[in-house]
Amino acid sequence: MRTIDFHNHFYPPEYLEALRVGPSAVRLTTDDEGNPCLHYPGDTNVAVRGHRDIAFRDEVLKRARVDLQVLTLTTPGTHVETPARARELACRVNDAFATIVQERPRRFAALATLPLNDPVASTAELERAVRGLGFAGAMVFSNVNGVALSDERYWPLWERADALGAVIHIHPTSPVGVEAMAEYWLMPLVGFPLDTTLAAAGLVFRGIPERFPRIRWVLAHLGGAVPYLAERLDRGFHAFRECRAHIERPPSEYLKGLYYDGVNFDARALRLAVDFAGAEHVLAGSDYPHQLGSIRGMRESVAAAELTEAERRAILGENAARLLGME
């Protein structure tokens, strides 16, 4: 049974070196074990060996029997930099990903990172990544320095993504109001799934999936609270005129057409996502090698969920292969 890990993260060494040399909005230090630490507003990431050593990572996946990973950058993203620096770093990351995929095509694919604080440059970089580097699309963040993905400044990007039939994987980042999440790691534990939920609801109510129907949207962490709150969003559609301004059908009908990655290792939550959107819209994901990530958790949640063998095959690899054009 082929296993494709759709949600995981890698910091190319070229990117880390660029942060070290600067200029950058990200402060780089080193911990006692020699790992680079990326400090940025709202969070810190420790880049352990699996984040930055592709040969080591390849061996980890071989032992874990993961056939393919779809590499993406992770927070803070390039959009925390100046627009010029964001463009430079996004190109550097994508070129590094392309080299990895070229050298290890049986083990890795990739989604582009974009300089999201420059929508025009993001549109051009998506075009380059898909047509020039062979990527299926890009990973974007749930907000861009507080600006919603549904904002009209991003419509040209979605228009280009639609023309390309691109995959757009929405990954959370620090939400607006993050200062209320300073204790107990509430920002990644609660803020991340909250911001994914806000991004998805905003896009749907603004009519973006209806306007750009060829984009294959993927929501991280089983869509945050989307499967749980979909009925409430539908009630809003019927109750409030504003919620019907840009769409003709209840939000759940659009949300069921999105994809949901499985980085929530509760088998009951996975089953809820399957009941909501169908097994053909759920993708295995590990969040490797983050502290909250787990390749074992990815496998065990799929094994423990009440699924048919056909549904397990679809979630573990077939759906991702179809999205990536690898069938």
Among residues 74, 21, 24, the alpha carbon closest in space to that of 51 is found at 74
Give domain limits for the chain.
Answer: 4-324
pLDDT score at 188: 87
What's the gap between Cα 137 and its chain centre? 11
pLDDT score at 40: 87
Please tell me the total number of residues recorded for the chain in this structure.
Answer: 327
* Tokens (6 digits) for 177: 């109001």
Among residues 255, 242, 262, the alpha carbon closest in space to that of 319 is found at 262
Q: Could you give the angle at which helices 155-164 and 119-127 cross, rounded to 10 degrees?
A: 10
Distance CA 30, CA 56 (A): 20
pLDDT score at 156: 98
Buried b (16+ CB within 10 A) or exposed e, 242-253: ebeeebeebbbb
Q: Note the CATH number of domain 4-324.
A: 3.20.20.140
pLDDT score at 24: 96
Distance CA 124, CA 127 (A): 5
Q: pLDDT (tens digit, 0 to 9) for every residue of the chain, 327 residues total?
A: 899 999 999 999 999 999 999 999 999 999 999 999 999 877 889 999 999 999 999 999 999 999 999 999 999 999 999 999 999 999 999 999 999 999 999 999 999 999 999 999 999 999 999 999 999 999 999 999 999 999 999 999 999 999 999 999 999 998 888 888 888 988 889 989 999 999 999 999 999 999 999 999 999 999 999 999 999 999 999 999 999 999 999 999 999 999 999 999 999 999 999 999 999 999 999 999 999 999 999 999 999 999 999 999 999 999 999 999 997
pLDDT score at 327: 75
Distance CA 143, CA 127 (A): 21
The model carries a pTM of 0.96
